[in-house]
């Protein structure tokens, strides 16, 4: 008789882990127990040496699909003589550091039951089991038990209760377990009144969707606004009511077959689409759906993930549904029923309301199968709140991120948890959501705020900075935006010592000299910090960050005093009057700032090639410019993007671009050459810096690196010079990754 004590860490709560251990132990005729404790799942097993070996070696390979084991510790122990194997109740002491599982899509077994007439949960929109269903979006506090989830309002009937308590059942300790007899239901509210009953309300929803209605549909982490994507008039109405001019809408498609008709699905994109996170996947479009993604060659698609979505399609909903966050303009997604009714009246024709409350808003995630593998552009449902990195510190650290695309990172016991996407904090609702998420994270992990090290941006007027400074923390650490971008790449890879060259290209960030940065080169490491060793040549920026809305306004700054430019007010450029007035601002140095932003350089290039109007969503001109290049051949000559004293000078390139266009060159070729020239100049500077600083690793981060064409060019050129490029994978390369980088630089306090 031998015994082992085993500790399993990782995402092991709420994913069917204890019943799995129970079944595995019984299979191997072992006695002992399994329990959730504050640091993970503890197992005591007793039996023959062979059986213990077999049990231990099967533990990881056979684990439930939603479990993520980060560490397994096995110790020999003295047998206590247990006669059977049992599941011990959760311990309630100490700080919970076990991880909370992200929400999971409905599993195949539940899906089969959903459409099995003989099953008690036939057509029941809240079907789930330990392998699937909501987690993060229903958990109110830890440890994860039904009484601390939004399912506490419903008591289980005999069927659910017996399954919940049967270790051999798929629903053993499935906290959100429910059936039509005891659980919550859906109902439909429209102008005619309320339609009760799951089937009746879903059936009616499908009818009105087919007739062209816009329906607010309650899902897992919030409400969607849904309509028939093939109905151009309805899609247009949605744009008008939402005040959303051109920003693409995401669509939900019935199945993979429909997805293939809509977009080109590479094997990597298919993997992302069907992954347990079920993100919105951006892929090249094959057909145009009028008004869904205007003038955009990519389409964002996702598969059904909640049982409700499968029911909508099974009841005959249009096979492609617009499914966009229910909100006005860029406010946060509505997730409470009263809030949805209040803010969406006049926007939605009807409300398909589910009775189960949502504990916190969790938007759909957005991802793309990119040059460097899967790239997460918005990290939310299905990913949050998984840990994104292991930190070499026991101190609790809170990092509040940037004011755009905000996320918050909390480091607890050496694990970095990055929050779901919160949004742009200039909206009152988003700021409220930011404060709520901050409190939520600290409560969830039972952190005393006075013990925290709090990291924030150096921007003195950021709402996130002001909130951070008001916290009664032990220490505050101020982190420059672009250093945080570079740090995020290293933090998620656990590279705490490695010296790298960091390249941070983005739209805007507060520089340590008070100017607007966004084209920065650094040398250093997470341990020693980063020194700025190169940058884009500073340009004027009339109107400051407000210029980001008008590419011609950026152009006025970047093109100041350039000899040899054709007249941009004339054909083929035809810049509007705004260009002239912005030029006057620059001449008089009125409201004129200095910037090294590569994002604004992209805007200038876009203006020169024909994007002379207003931008209606962030990054629009840069996306337009990238798509303009399409798949043109890359044997075109480079522009002169010159380099002196580690400063990249864009001026000769911009003059050549303007002259080429004036001379009648194809704009798509000019766009391609622009991308290639920027990549080449960047690679050249990185190469020389890497020699100066003795490293062959380059970390790329910042919103500009969402540009796949630039990444592809740059990657190729860096590889030719034997440099290895790293970029973000766990967190977004845009400002959604800033909080992780801030936290990383707070560890050694080298910001």
Residues that bind Fe ion in the complex, under the rule CB under 5 A: 506, 509, 735
Q: Least CB distance from residue 107 to Zn ion, whole Å?
A: 4
Which is nearer to Fe ion, 96 or 518 (by Cβ)?
518
Task: Name the residue nearer to Fe ion (CB basis): 357 or 519.
Answer: 519
User: Rounded CA gap, 451 and 469, in Å?
Assistant: 14
Report, in Å, the least distance between residue 702 CB and Fe ion. 5
Please calculate the CA angle 538-541-544 and round it to the nearest 5 degrees: 120
If the CB atoms of residues 11 and 733 are measured against Fe ion, the closer one turns out to be 733
Cα–Cα dist 59/517, whole Å: 50
Report the chain's C-alpha Rg in angstroms: 27
In sequence order, the 6+-apart residues with CB closer than 8 A to the CB of 522 are 482, 483, 486, 501, 502, 503, 504, 530, 531, 532, 533
Which does residue 12 bind out of Fe ion, Zn ion, none, counting CB within 5 to 8 angstroms by kind?
A: none
Query: Angle formed by the axes of helices 651-662 and 667-693, to 10°?
Result: 170
In the complex, minimum distance from the CB of residue 703 to Fe ion, in angstroms, rounded to a whole number: 5
With CB under 5 A, what is the number of residues at the site for Zn ion? 5
Our CB check for Fe ion shows the closer of 371 and 516 to be 516
Minimum distance from residue 321 beta carbon to Fe ion (Å): 33
Q: How far is the CB of 181 from Zn ion (least distance, A)?
A: 18
Choose between 105 and 534: whose C-beta lies nearer to Fe ion: 534
CB of 151 vs Zn ion, minimal distance in Å: 15
Beta strands 40-47 and 31-37 are antiparallel
Q: Which does 745 bind (CB under 5 to 8 A by kind): Fe ion, Zn ion, none?
A: none
506 binds, among Fe ion, Zn ion, none (CB under 5 to 8 A by kind): Fe ion
Residue 178 C-beta: closest distance to Zn ion, Å: 12
3-class secondary-structure state, position 647: strand
Residues numbered 87 to 126 that lie near Zn ion (CB under 5 A) are 107, 110
User: Does 486 sit near Zn ion (CB under 5 A)?
Assistant: no
Q: Output the residue with the shortest Cβ distance to Fe ion.
A: 506
Residue 107 contact among Fe ion, Zn ion, none, beta carbon within 5 to 8 Å by kind: Zn ion
- Which residue, 103 or 618, is less far from Fe ion as judged by CB? 618
Report how far residue 339's alpha carbon sits from residue 359's, in angstroms, rounded to the nearest whole number: 14
* Residue 290, token pair as written in the block: 């009028």
Among Fe ion, Zn ion, none, partner that 327 touches (CB below 5 to 8 angstroms by kind): none
Residue 103 or 626 having the CB closest to Zn ion? 103
160 binds, among Zn ion, Fe ion, none (CB under 5 to 8 A by kind): none
**Minimum distance of Zn ion from residue 119's CB (angstroms):** 12
State in angstroms the smallest separation of the CB of 175 from Zn ion. 13
10 Å Cβ neighbour count for 477? 21
Cβ(137)–Cβ(359) under 8 Å? yes
Q: Do residues 525 and 618 touch, judged by C-beta distance below 8 A?
A: no
354 binds, among Zn ion, Fe ion, none (CB under 5 to 8 A by kind): none
- Residue 289 binds to Zn ion (criterion: CB under 5 A): no
Beta carbons of 220 and 306 less than 8 angstroms apart: yes
Q: Which two tokens stand for residue 660?
A: 């080429």
Query: Which partner in Zn ion, Fe ion, none is near 129 (CB below 5 to 8 A by kind)?
Result: Zn ion
Binning the chain into helix, strand and coil, the percentages to the nearest 5 are 35, 25, 40
User: Binding partner of residue 735 among Zn ion, Fe ion, none, CB under 5 to 8 Å per kind?
Assistant: Fe ion
Measured from the CB atom, is 132 or 253 closer to Zn ion?
132
Span near Zn ion by CB under 5 A; candidates 50-58, 129-137, 537-545, 639-647 = 129-137
**Smallest gap, in angstroms, from Cβ of residue 67 to Zn ion?**
14
Task: Pick what 263 binds: Zn ion, Fe ion, none; C-beta below 5 to 8 Å, kind-dependent.
Answer: none
Range 133-152, binding Zn ion (CB under 5 A):
none
Instruction: Output the smallest distance, CB 737 to Fe ion, in A.
Output: 8
Assess whether the previous peptide bond of 572 is cis (omega < 30° from 0). yes
Segment near Zn ion (CB under 5 A); pick from 95-103, 128-136, 319-327, 662-670: 128-136
129 makes contact with Zn ion (CB under 5 A): yes
Residues 615 to 644 in contact with Zn ion, rule: CB under 5 A: none
* 179 near Zn ion, judged by CB under 5 A: no
Q: Is 725 in the site for Zn ion (CB under 5 A)?
A: no
Tell the smallest beta-carbon distance from residue 333 to Zn ion (Å). Answer: 25
Closest CA to 222 of 102, 336, 59, 53: 336
Contact criterion met (CB below 8 Å) for 381 and 365 = yes
- Note the helical H segments in 118-255: 158-164, 198-210, 232-242
Sequence-distant (≥ 6) Cβ neighbours of residue 626 within 8 angstroms: 671, 675, 707, 708, 709, 710
Which of the ranges 127-135, 415-423, 472-480, 636-644 carries the binding residues for Zn ion, by CB under 5 A?
127-135
Q: Are 658 and 608 in contact (CB under 8 A)?
A: yes
Could you give the residue ranges of the DSSP H alpha helices within 33-87? 49-59
With CA atoms as reference, report the closest residue to 659 among 635, 629, 678, 639: 639
Q: How far is the CB of 172 from Zn ion (least distance, A)?
A: 12
Judged by beta carbon distances under 5 to 8 A according to partner kind, the member of Fe ion, Zn ion, none in contact with residue 683 is none
Contact call for residue 132 and Zn ion (CB under 5 A): yes
Sheet holding 475-479, edge to edge: 387-390, 415-418, 409-412, 397-399, 453-457, 475-479
Element (H, E) at 487: helix 481-493
Q: Which is nearer to Zn ion, 110 or 225 (CB)?
A: 110
Which of Fe ion, Zn ion, none is residue 110 near (CB under 5 to 8 Å by kind)?
Answer: Zn ion
Minimal distance, residue 259 CB to Fe ion, in Å:
31
Helix axes 428-444, 463-470, angle to 10 degrees: 40
- Using the minimum distance from each CB to Zn ion, give the nearer residue, 129 or 303: 129
CA torsion sign, 202 to 207 to 209 to 210?
Answer: positive
CA 404 to chain centre: 13
CA distance 36 to 130: 15
Q: Residue 509 or residue 534: which is nearer to Fe ion going by CB?
A: 509
Cβ proximity to Zn ion, 182 vs 258, nearer residue: 182
488 in Cβ contact with 730 (< 8 Å): no
Q: Which stretch binds Zn ion (CB under 5 A): 130-138, 194-202, 211-219, 560-568?
A: 130-138
Residue in this structure with the two tokens 């000299």, named with its chain if needed: 513
Smallest separation, CB 503 to Fe ion (Å):
13
Residue 126 or 521: the one with the smaller Cβ distance to Zn ion is 126
Between residues 179 and 731, which has the closer beta carbon with respect to Zn ion?
Answer: 179
Q: Does 743 bind Zn ion (CB under 5 A)?
A: no
Q: Name the residue nearer to Fe ion (CB basis): 364 or 506.
A: 506
Q: Say how far apart CA 644 and CA 534 lie, in whole Å.
A: 10
3-state secondary structure at position 146? helix
Instruction: Please state, in angstroms and rounded to a whole number, the distance separating the CA atoms of residues 393 and 348.
Output: 48
Distance CA 451, CA 448 (A): 6
Cβ closest to Fe ion, residue 115 vs residue 617: 617
User: Tokens for 414?
Assistant: 């050496």
For residues 128 and 139, give the distance between their C-alpha atoms in angstroms, rounded to a whole number.
15
Closest distance to Fe ion from the beta carbon of 742 (Å): 12
Phi/psi for 689 (5° steps) reads -65, -35
Residues contributing to the site for Zn ion (CB under 5 A): 107, 110, 129, 131-132
């Amino acid at each position: 008789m031998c015994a082992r004590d085993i500790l399993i860490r990782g995402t092991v709560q709420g994913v069917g882990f204890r019943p799995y251990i129970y079944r595995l132990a019984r299979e191997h005729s072992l006695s002992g127990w399994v329990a959730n404790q504050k640091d993970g799942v503890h197992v005591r097993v007793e039996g023959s040496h062979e059986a213990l070996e077999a049990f231990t070696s099967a533990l990881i390979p056979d684990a439930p699909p939603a479990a993520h084991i980060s560490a397994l510790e096995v110790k020999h122990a003295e047998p206590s003589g247990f006669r059977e194997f049992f599941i011990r109740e959760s311990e309630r002491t100490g700080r919970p550091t076990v991880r909370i599982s992200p929400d999971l899509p409905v599993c195949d077994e539940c899906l089969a039951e959903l459409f099995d007439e003989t099953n008690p949960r036939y057509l029941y929109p809240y079907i789930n089991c330990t392998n699937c269903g909501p987690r993060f979006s229903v958990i109110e506090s830890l440890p994860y038990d039904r009484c601390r989830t939004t399912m506490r309002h419903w008591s289980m009937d005999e069927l659910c209760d017996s399954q919940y308590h049967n270790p051999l059942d798929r629903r053993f300790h499935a906290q959100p377990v429910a059936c039509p007899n005891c659980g919550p239901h859906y109902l439909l509210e429209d102008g005619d009144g309320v339609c009760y009953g799951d089937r009746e309300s879903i059936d009616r929803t499908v009818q009105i969707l087919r007739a062209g209605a816009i329906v607010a549909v309650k899902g897992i982490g919030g409400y969607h606004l849904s309509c028939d994507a093939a109905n151009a008039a309805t899609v247009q109405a949605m744009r008008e009511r939402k005040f959303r001019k051109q920003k693409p809408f995401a669509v939900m498609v019935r199945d993979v077959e429909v997805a293939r008709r809509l977009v080109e699905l590479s094997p990597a994109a298919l993997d992302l689409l069907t992954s347990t996170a079920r993100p919105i996947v951006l892929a090249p479009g094959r057909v145009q759906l009028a008004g869904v993604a205007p003038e955009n060659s990519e389409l964002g698609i996702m598969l059904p993930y909640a049982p409700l979505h499968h029911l909508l399609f099974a009841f005959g909903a249009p096979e492609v549904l617009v499914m966009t966050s229910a909100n006005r303009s860029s406010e946060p997604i509505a997730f409470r029923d009263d809030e949805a009714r209040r803010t969406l009246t006049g926007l939605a024709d009807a409300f398909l309301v589910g009775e189960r409350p949502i504990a916190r808003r969790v938007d759909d995630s957005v991802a793309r199968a990119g040059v460097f593998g899967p790239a997460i552009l918005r990290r939310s449902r299905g990913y949050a709140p998984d840990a994104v990195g292991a930190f070499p510190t026991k101190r609790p650290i809170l990092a509040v991120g940037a004011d755009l695309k905000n996320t918050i990172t909390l480091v607890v016991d050496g694990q970095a948890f990055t929050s779901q996407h919160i949004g742009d904090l200039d909206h009152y609702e988003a700021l409220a959501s930011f404060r709520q998420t901050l409190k939520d994270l600290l409560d969830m992990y039972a952190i005393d705020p006075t013990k925290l090290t709090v990291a924030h941006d150096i921007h003195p007027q950021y709402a996130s900075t002001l909130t951070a400074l008001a916290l009664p923390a032990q220490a505050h650490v101020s982190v420059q935006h672009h250093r945080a971008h570079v740090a995020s790449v290293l933090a998620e890879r656990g590279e705490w010592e490695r010296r790298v060259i960091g390249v941070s290209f983005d739209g805007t960030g507060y520089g340590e000299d008070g100017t607007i940065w966004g084209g920065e080169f650094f040398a250093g490491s997470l341990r020693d910090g980063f020194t700025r060793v190169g940058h884009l040549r500073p340009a004027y920026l009339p109107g400051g960050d407000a210029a980001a809305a008008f590419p011609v306004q950026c152009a006025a700054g970047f093109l100041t005093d350039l000899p040899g430019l054709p007249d941009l007010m004339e054909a083929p450029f035809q810049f509007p009057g705004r260009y002239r007035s912005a030029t006057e601002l620059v001449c008089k140095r009125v409201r004129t700032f200095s910037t090294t932003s590569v994002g604004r350089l992209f805007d200038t290039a876009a203006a020169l090639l024909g994007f002379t109007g207003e931008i209606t969503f962030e990054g629009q001109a840069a996306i337009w410019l990238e798509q303009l290049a399409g798949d043109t051949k890359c044997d075109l000559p480079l522009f002169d993007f010159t380099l002196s004293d580690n400063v990249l000078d864009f001026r000769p390139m911009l003059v050549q671009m303007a002259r080429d266009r004036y001379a009648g060159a194809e704009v798509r070729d000019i766009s391609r050459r622009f991308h290639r020239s920027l990549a080449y100049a960047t690679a050249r500077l990185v190469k020389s810096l890497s020699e100066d600083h003795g490293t062959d690793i380059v970390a790329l981060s910042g919103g500009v690196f969402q540009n796949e064409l630039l990444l592809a060019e740059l990657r190729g050129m860096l590889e030719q010079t034997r440099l290895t490029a790293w970029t973000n994978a766990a967190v977004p390369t845009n400002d959604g990754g800033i909080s992780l980088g801030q936290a990383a630089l707070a560890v050694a306090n080298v910001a």
